[in-house]
Structure 1
């Protein structure tokens, strides 16, 4: 099975691709096969032509549900063009409105358990790993986009752009403040608000540090129904 991460923004497209009965049937058949499947076999599984099967299979590839490559079916090389085969990716597709990111929180907590130092408490380890995850994200974004010197306006705009993809639903409340209208970790906030809010802030602090956005800061500013953190000009 081939790894493929489906971005949050594309999750709905992936789910929509499976609303078609033929696509869903071929996708389920290929998953059950647990091996690469050719177009002829996929077409026969749902009773359609090879040409129509190719169209639907490529739509599933576009949606991130299948991956495709050219190889002999069954390992047997025949005369002519090498056929295209399909197999499922390991992408986990989930849709939540507004978006939630329990997977990100789970990664932070797992890393905290695995790397907790002798002189750290469990909470200290969790806050440290949250900052590290955020810092890695900010660093990757800085290297990718090469934003140059980040004054307050550019830093806030870049923060809005990146955090939108992580489900925070940023909103420019004032020219110097970005409110985060959604908490991606919301389902767990009610159980331990201090811990989850602290992790959220640590993640965003790490993100801003990795982005080298020194002109803005992540501060706790809890409001009912919103993320507990805001990003403001210093």
Structure 2
């Protein structure tokens, strides 16, 4: 499970010192904990503890369910218990996502055939991961048939959540002001920009966009890929995308 909001929003919930202590207590317990136990540890009322715990649940940091502690069955309503959610929060400004590249490369290693070219396997894995992301978004939204304008709008919203900082520079074009893979691209631009291009192309395919292309268009200080409805392509010198 991941936090429903951004990592920044989830971490903001922990800015409260008492809430942070409660969260630490539950993590260290290594078992489901009741709100009464949390209240006793924090030296506060059960009502106030419940307020803070609900905030932590809403942020995706804790999971809550009704359960009898220790498996002991008692008459009446089961108490609510809390335990840590499977949330791994990382914050960077601008947003960086080396984990996406790591997952793609892991997929490539696990799926490549003997004698297969490593870079080709990585590009295929990137395409597949992008298609899965786009298809998942399409299934969630069920937008029906997409024309170019609707395609750009949905893609823009999805890329905003993935840290690309998209901006509509023309009715037919979206530029990506941030490269979530910048640090890695600076080390191996040809590989990483190729992966990014395949990933975003797969995302468009998964969304089933109509008439929208992912084009390699490296420029200093931007992501190496732009989205266009005119099918135009810029030079594919991936080295340029690693420069500020």
In the other structure, the counterpart of 1:173 is 169
CA distance in structure 2 between the aligned counterparts of 1:19 and 1:198, rounded to whole angstroms: 39
Note the aligned Cα RMSD (angstroms): 1.3
Unaligned 5+ residue runs, structure 1?
none
Contact 1:67 1:88 in 2 (8 A): yes
* Equivalent residues in 2 for 1:65-214, closer than 5 Å: 65-214=61-210
CA distance in structure 2 between the aligned counterparts of 1:71 and 1:111, rounded to whole angstroms: 38
TM-score with structure 1 setting the length: 0.94
In the other structure, the counterpart of 1:31 is 27
Instruction: Tell me how far 1:138 sits from its aligned partner.
Output: 1.5
- C-alpha offsets along residues 50-93 of structure 1, whole Å, 9 cap, x if unaligned? 11111111111011000001111122223332111000011111
Instruction: Tell me how far 1:102 sits from its aligned partner.
Output: 1.6
Residue 222 of structure 1, aligned match among 218, 221, 230: 218
- C-alpha offsets along residues 129-164 of structure 1, whole Å, 9 cap, x if unaligned? 000001111222223323333222122111101111
Q: Give the secondary structure class of the aligned counterpart of 2:223.
A: coil
- Flag the structure with more relative contact order, 1 or 2, with Cα contacts below 8 A and sequence separation at least 6: 1
Q: Give the secondary structure class of the aligned counterpart of 1:171.
A: strand
Instruction: Tell me how far 1:212 sits from its aligned partner.
Output: 1.9
Task: Verify: 1:5 aligned to 2:2, yes or no.
Answer: yes
Q: How many residues align?
A: 230
TM-score with structure 2 setting the length: 0.90
Residue 232 of structure 1, aligned match among 225, 228, 233: 228
